[in-house]
């Protein structure tokens, strides 16, 4: 075989391989690539596809970093991270009816004062805990709870709407539809409801 014919065949094989690689990348989200590894250096010519049955092209990786992706391993790692994140979700433990209950803080949109107790507004049933609201507010503050009233603390991740009132106060609506009043004493805490405020409106005034 002559040198030009050999070069032409290599060029055709390389182009077919690049096309197959592009299709494989598009299919990563729908299923793993069995026994395959894709190496990309952000250039069309710098691909290698390592498999017993497929074309193998050596990539020039001397100048650019290689990102090695294995779809099956990637999915496994993502699943493990998801499980780990659920295990690390903050929870609250308290005594109720002779037992110690544990609840995810994400499932508690608000905490209300009830005399010498506080009511954890957990759906479908709230729970009473023998503790002052001031003490509870201090303990929950690092976990995204803010004081909005002398008798109410809310979970900022549960707030869905803020409505200004003519009195200078605000009304909050949390997940589940329940509403709470924000008094002027605590309205500065509303800044903590979001990490980024955009547009012309600013809270509080």
Same domain, yes or no: 62 and 121? no
Is residue 83 left, alpha or beta, with left meaning phi > 0 and alpha meaning psi from -120 to 50? alpha
* Residue 201 within a domain: no
The model carries a pTM of 0.56
Question: Which domain does 68 fall in, by range?
Answer: 3-85
Same domain, yes or no: 78 and 113? no
* Residue 205 within a domain: no
Same domain, yes or no: 187 and 140? yes
Q: How many domains does the chain have?
A: 2
Residue 40 clears pLDDT 80, i.e. is over it: no
Give the CATH number for residue 144: 2.40.50.1020
Q: What is the mean pLDDT of the chain?
A: 75
> Residue 95's pLDDT band (boundaries 50, 70, 90)?
confident
Q: Comparing 33 with 126, which gets the higher pLDDT?
A: 126
Q: pLDDT tens-digit profile of 157-175?
A: 999 999 999 999 999 999 9
> Residue 64's pLDDT band (boundaries 50, 70, 90)?
low
Which pLDDT belongs to residue 62? Answer: 56
The segment with the largest mean pLDDT, out of 35-39, 51-55, 91-95, is: 91-95
Boundary of a domain, candidates 26, 52, 85: 85
Same domain, yes or no: 138 and 187? yes
Same domain, yes or no: 77 and 114? no
């Amino acid at each position: 075989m002559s040198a030009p014919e050999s070069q032409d065949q290599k060029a055709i094989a390389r182009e077919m391989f690049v096309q197959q690689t592009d299709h494989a990348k598009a299919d990563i989200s729908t299923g793993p690539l069995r026994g395959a590894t894709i190496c990309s250096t952000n250039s069309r010519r710098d691909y290698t596809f390592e498999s017993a049955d497929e074309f193998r092209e050596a990539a020039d990786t001397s100048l650019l970093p290689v990102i090695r992706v294995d779809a099956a391993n990637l999915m496994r790692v993502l699943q493990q991270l998801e499980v780990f994140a659920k295990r690390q979700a903050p929870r609250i433990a308290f005594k109720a009816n002779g037992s110690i209950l544990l609840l995810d803080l994400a499932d508690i949109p608000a905490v209300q004062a009830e005399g010498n107790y506080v009511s954890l507004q957990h759906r479908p049933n709230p729970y009473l805990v023998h503790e002052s609201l001031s003490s509870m507010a201090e303990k929950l503050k690092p976990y995204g709870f803010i004081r909005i009233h002398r008798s109410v603390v809310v979970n900022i991740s549960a707030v869905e709407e803020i409505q200004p009132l003519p009195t200078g106060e605000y009304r909050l609506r949390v997940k589940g539809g329940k509403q709470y009043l924000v008094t002027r004493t605590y309205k500065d805490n509303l800044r903590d409801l979001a990490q980024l405020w955009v547009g012309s409106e600013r809270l509080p005034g």
